[in-house]
């Protein structure tokens, strides 16, 4: 099972489209962790055969998306949130506690625009970084592979979108 995770695209339709277009052969699911609802929905409409899920970010005004999601894929429980409500800019402690409460093996979050993977108390805390604007790490996204051998999070840089998608 391969999940492509992105966050904080902030109107970068071209980059979101480019990520989906270049990963569609291998991806089973796309997740957006907030602050980019409009472009994510627009891209999702162009790939109707693919699964797309999203949560609301602090800049997704008027959004009807949920604040968080709990899903199970390939036997792995995954907690998804934008992260702002858990204070992730300063600490991941509250996020870790929420993941434990939901018995999740993976907690996916955004908000900080910094790609990060931590493994604490048997739980992966993973931020894909920002698709559009990164602070300390290159703009990028996450490929999360769920295999019989385990959970494999891999951060990827996002290149510039081709001119026709900007």
> What does the pLDDT read at residue 159?
73
Structural fold of domain 2-133: Purple Acid Phosphatase; chain A, domain 2 (3.60.21)
Closest CA to 142 of 150, 130, 132, 154: 154
> What does the pLDDT read at residue 19?
96
Gap between the Cα atoms of 23 and 132, Å rounded: 17
Q: Where are the domains of the chain?
A: 2-133
Q: Tokens 């702002």 label which residue? A: 84
Residue-by-residue pLDDT tens, the chain, 166 positions: 999 999 999 999 999 999 999 999 999 999 999 999 999 999 999 999 999 999 999 999 889 999 999 999 999 999 999 999 999 999 999 999 999 999 999 999 999 999 999 999 999 999 999 998 767 778 899 999 999 999 999 999 987 666 555 4
Gap between the Cα atoms of 59 and 56, Å rounded: 8
> What does the pLDDT read at residue 160?
66
Q: Contact at 8 Å (CB) between 110 and 79?
A: no
Q: Are strands 51-54 and 29-32 parallel, antiparallel or unpaired?
A: parallel
The pTM (predicted TM-score) of the whole model is 0.94
- The burial of 119, by beta-carbon neighbours within 10 Å (0-12 exposed, 13-18 middle, 19 or more buried), is given as exposed
């Amino acid at each position: 099972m391969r999940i492509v995770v992105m966050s904080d695209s902030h109107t970068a339709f071209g980059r979101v489209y480019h990520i989906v277009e270049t990963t569609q052969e291998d991806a089973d699911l796309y997740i957006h962790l907030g602050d980019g609802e409009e472009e994510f929905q627009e891209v999702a409409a162009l790939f109707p055969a693919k699964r797309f899920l999203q949560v609301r970010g602090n800049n997704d005004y008027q959004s009807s998306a949920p604040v968080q999601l709990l899903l199970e894929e390939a036997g792995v429980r995954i907690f998804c949130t934008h992260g702002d409500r858990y204070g992730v800019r300063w600490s991941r402690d509250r996020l870790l506690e929420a993941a434990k409460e939901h018995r999740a093996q993976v907690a996916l979050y955004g908000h900080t625009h910094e790609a990060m993977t931590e493994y604490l108390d048997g739980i992966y805390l993973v931020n894909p970084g920002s698709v559009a604007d990164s602070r300390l790490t290159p703009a990028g996204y996450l490929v999360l592979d769920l295999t019989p051998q385990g959970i494999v999070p891999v951060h990827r840089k996002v290149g510039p979108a081709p001119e026709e998608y900007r």
